Structure 1
Amino acid sequence: MSLKGDVCVVTGAGGFLGRRLVKLLLEEEKMAEIRLLDKHVEPQLLQTLEDCRGDTKLSVFEGDIRDGDFLRKTCRGASIVFHIASIIDVIEAVEYREIYGVNVKGTQLLLEACVQENVVSFIYTSTIEVMGPNPQGEPIVNGTEDTVYHCALKFSYSKTKREAEERTLQAHGEMLQNGGRLATCALRPMYIYGEGCRFLLGHMGDGIGNRDVLFRMSRPEALVNPVYVGNVAVAHLQAARSLKDPRKRNTVGGKFYFVSDDTPPVSYSDFNHAVMAPLGFNIQEKLVLPLSLLYVICFFLEMVCMMLRPLKRIVPPMNQQLLTMLNTPFSFSYQKAKTDLGYAPRYTWEEARRRTTEWLASQLPQQRAKRRAR
């Protein structure tokens, strides 16, 4: 089902995934208009999209996702919303009120704007972290949408993303102002990598500071399955096509889908090495300290920071839940997305790795210069 002639809104359009999705939409669909919603959209982004824009109108809407009037203005006349924008935080650096306001209230306001402005399709970018891992570190290997997993989420990020996802799916079938019905679905990508991934830059910077040796914070046996950003963008496009298709709308609507690809299962630390080894980086053979000792250190750091919080907010670089996430086998299949959405990874692991490594290579001189300047 083509999206030709549609008007769509992409929230977080200036970000890592958002800009990749906008480019894909321009290349594959002759849409009437794409509205780029973000707090700030860099002018150079529009310049890079000019070559593939064709007859599609590109409009920039800069504002706050927590502003209901702004959202209604952005959604007016649109038929599809891709809601990607959120605050990502796994070290609890952001105050809970702030992250809840953006991730949950912002999503709710956007859903309400869709109802008021008769937007018929809403695709929410969730995350694997709404599933876990739980604080006990219970593993999941090749899980599916039917996998039962008992989890009391610890991160503010995962809690707020889970609530926003639930609100999105509950809104499926809600009546629009014109008497139509809203269709929603949610996508749960694995850890997303590729050109523009700020986490990879951070790991590379740390490795440079450690004489080109990457730190090991994950046990080799803690296998996860990262997903390439280009494939995640394809999954979003397929979700929009499915929600527009009358034959699939009720099958897909109100459901969530895991999004992975054929990136080989690997630990987070070994993944960093896989994409940086061609640049001359090595990796520590063992964890920086025994895992049990790391948990003890994280516990005391968290206690000290908690006691100091009335005087000063200090955020430790590592916490117990992040340590659990980095050391728990946690992988999921994309078969249901393949069956229901028609999703198939467009980029092989070899191509995704090559593209990622080439981008990291282009950033390497700047990262080395930053380290020398410290």
Structure 2
Amino acid sequence: MSLRGEVCVVTGAGGFLGKTLMRLLLEEERVAEIRLLDKEVKPQLLQTLEDCRGDTKLTVFEGDIRDGEFLRRSCRGASLVFHIASIIDVTNSVEDSEMYGVNVTGTQLLLEACLQENVDTLIYTSTIEVMGPNSKGDPIINGTEETVYECTLKFAYSKSKKEAEERTLQAHNEELPNGRRMATCALRPMYIYGEGCRFLLGHMGDGIRNKNVLYRMSRPDALVNPVYVGNVAVGHLQAARSLKDPQKRNVVGGKFYFVSDDTPHISYSDFNHAVMAPLGFSIQQKVIVPLPLFYLFCVLMEIVCMILQPFVRVVPPLSRQLLTMLNTTFSFSYQGAKRDLGYAPRYTWQEARKRTTEWLASQLPQEREKIGAK
């Protein structure tokens, strides 16, 4: 099913995944228009897309996703929305009200705008973290959409994404003013890496400060399966094609799908080393502090922060939940997306790693300069 002639809205267009998805839309689908919706869209972004724009119209909508009228203007006359925008935070550094306002209220207002403006298709970018892991660190190996896992979510981020995902899926089959019905689905990518990943830059900066030695925060046997940003964009494209296909619309609509690829199952820390080793980085052999002591440190930090909370808001550098996430085997299969969406990873692990390492290499001089390292 082609998306030719569609008018697409991409929320979070200026972000890591948004930029990759827009380029894919321009290169593979002759969409009539892409509306770049974000709080700020830098002029350079439009310039980077000029080489593949063709006849597609690019329109910028800058504003707050919590502004319902702004969203209605953005969606007026559109036929397809990729809702990527959200606040991502696993350190609890963002106020819960801010997180909920953007991730949940913003999603609800966008759904309402779609319903009011006859937008019949919406793909929501969720996250693997709506599954967990739970506080006990119970593992999942090659989980599927049918996997049952008991988890009380601790991160405000995870809770907000879970609620936004549920609201999106509940909106499937809602009737539009023009008599058609809306179709929605949600994609749950693994940890996304690739060109533009700010988390990788952060880890590289820490490694530079530590004399080119990456910190080990994950046990080597705590295996996860990161996914390359290009493959996540392909998954979004396949989801859109499926929802636009009358024969697949009700098969896919109202459901969520995991998006992974053939990146090897590896711990978070060892993954950082895999993409940075060619740049001269080594990695610590063991977790910097024995995990039981690490957990105790986190508990003490949380108590101190709680005591200080009436006077000043202090965010601990590490929480028990984040430490659990970094040290829990948690991997998921993309077979459900392959079966229903026709998704298949386009970029191999070798190509994805090469692209990511080359991008990190291009950022290395300025990161060293910023830190003041030789």
TM-score by length of 1: 0.99
Instruction: Deviation per CA, 1:191-219: give whole Å up to 9, x if none.
Output: 00000000000000000000000000000
1:101 equivalenced with 2:101 (yes/no): yes
Percent of residue pairs bearing the same amino acid type? 78
* 1:18 aligned residue: 18
Q: Tell me, in whole angstroms, the C-alpha distance in 2 between the residues paired with 1:306 and 1:128.
A: 29
* 1:288 aligned residue: 288
- Cα offset, 1:178, TM superposition: 1.0
Three-state SS of the structure 2 residue aligned to 1:185 is strand
Q: Tell me, in whole angstroms, the C-alpha distance in 2 between the residues paired with 1:307 and 1:66.
A: 33
- Cα offset, 1:317, TM superposition: 1.2
What aligned pairs does 1:117-136 form with structure 2 within 5 A after superposition? 117-136=117-136
Three-state SS of the structure 2 residue aligned to 1:174 is coil
* 1:274 aligned residue: 274
Return the letter of the residue paired with 1:145.
E
- Cα offset, 1:310, TM superposition: 1.2
- Cα offset, 1:163, TM superposition: 0.2
Q: Tell me, in whole angstroms, the C-alpha distance in 2 between the residues paired with 1:103 and 1:285.
A: 38
Three-state SS of the structure 2 residue aligned to 1:273 is helix
Q: Tell me, in whole angstroms, the C-alpha distance in 1 between the residues paired with 2:120 and 2:2.
A: 15
- Cα offset, 1:306, TM superposition: 1.3
- Cα offset, 1:177, TM superposition: 1.2
- Cα offset, 1:354, TM superposition: 0.1
What aligned pairs does 1:153-164 form with structure 2 within 5 A after superposition? 153-164=153-164
- Cα offset, 1:224, TM superposition: 0.0
* 1:244 aligned residue: 244
* 2:207 aligned residue: 207
Q: Tell me, in whole angstroms, the C-alpha distance in 1 between the residues paired with 2:101 and 2:176.
A: 24
Three-state SS of the structure 1 residue aligned to 2:165 is helix
Return the letter of the residue paired with 1:114.
C
What aligned pairs does 1:329-368 form with structure 2 within 5 A after superposition? 329-368=329-368
* 1:41 aligned residue: 41
* 1:92 aligned residue: 92
Return the letter of the residue paired with 2:57.
K
Instruction: Deviation per CA, 1:38-60: give whole Å up to 9, x if none.
Output: 00001000000001000000000
1:222 equivalenced with 2:249 (yes/no): no
Return the letter of the residue paired with 2:332.
F
Three-state SS of the structure 2 residue aligned to 1:132 is coil
Q: Tell me, in whole angstroms, the C-alpha distance in 1 between the residues paired with 2:299 and 2:46.
A: 46
Instruction: Deviation per CA, 1:259-312: give whole Å up to 9, x if none.
Output: 000000000000000000000000000000000000000011011011111111
Three-state SS of the structure 1 residue aligned to 2:202 is helix
* 1:256 aligned residue: 256
* 2:150 aligned residue: 150
* 1:177 aligned residue: 177
* 1:2 aligned residue: 2
Return the letter of the residue paired with 2:222.
A
Superposed CA RMSD in Å reads: 0.8
- Cα offset, 1:179, TM superposition: 1.1
Q: Tell me, in whole angstroms, the C-alpha distance in 1 between the residues paired with 2:169 and 2:187.
A: 11
Q: Tell me, in whole angstroms, the C-alpha distance in 1 between the residues paired with 2:304 and 2:268.
A: 28
Instruction: Deviation per CA, 1:107-137: give whole Å up to 9, x if none.
Output: 0000000000000100000000000000110
Q: Tell me, in whole angstroms, the C-alpha distance in 2 between the residues paired with 1:35 and 1:316.
A: 38
Return the letter of the residue paired with 1:298.
C
Three-state SS of the structure 1 residue aligned to 2:188 is strand
Q: Tell me, in whole angstroms, the C-alpha distance in 2 between the residues paired with 1:59 and 1:238.
A: 23
1:190 equivalenced with 2:190 (yes/no): yes
Return the letter of the residue paired with 2:179.
G
Q: Tell me, in whole angstroms, the C-alpha distance in 2 between the residues paired with 1:258 and 1:38.
A: 25
Instruction: Deviation per CA, 1:144-170: give whole Å up to 9, x if none.
Output: 000000000000000000000000000
Q: Tell me, in whole angstroms, the C-alpha distance in 1 between the residues paired with 2:301 and 2:99.
A: 22
Report how many residues are paired: 374
Three-state SS of the structure 2 residue aligned to 1:247 is coil
Q: Tell me, in whole angstroms, the C-alpha distance in 1 between the residues paired with 2:176 and 2:309.
A: 45
Return the letter of the residue paired with 2:135.
P
Q: Tell me, in whole angstroms, the C-alpha distance in 1 between the residues paired with 2:207 and 2:214.
A: 4
Q: Tell me, in whole angstroms, the C-alpha distance in 1 between the residues paired with 2:135 and 2:63.
A: 36
Return the letter of the residue paired with 1:139.
P
Return the letter of the residue paired with 1:39.
K
